[in-house]
Amino acid sequence: GKPKLVALIAVARKLITILNAIVRDQQPWREQTA
């Protein structure tokens, strides 16, 4: 039971995924507007 830690880890993992995608695509981050 540490909801704060769980939420923090979830956000960190999401950021890491986004950063990995940027590096892989070799392009600046652009917010997807659908």
- For 1-34, write each residue's pLDDT tens digit: 789 999 999 999 999 998 888 888 876 666 766 6
Give dist(CA 24, CA 27) in Å, integer: 8
Q: What is the pLDDT of residue 26?
A: 78
Q: What is the pLDDT of residue 1?
A: 75
Structure tokens at 3: 């909801």
What are the sequence ranges of the domains in the chain? 1-26
Q: What is the pLDDT of residue 17?
A: 93
Q: What is the pLDDT of residue 7?
A: 95
Those residues with Cβ within 8 angstroms of residue 22's Cβ, 6 or more apart along the chain or in another chain? 28, 29
Q: What is the pLDDT of residue 34?
A: 63
Residue 16: HSE in the Cβ half-sphere, 13 Å Cα cutoff: 6
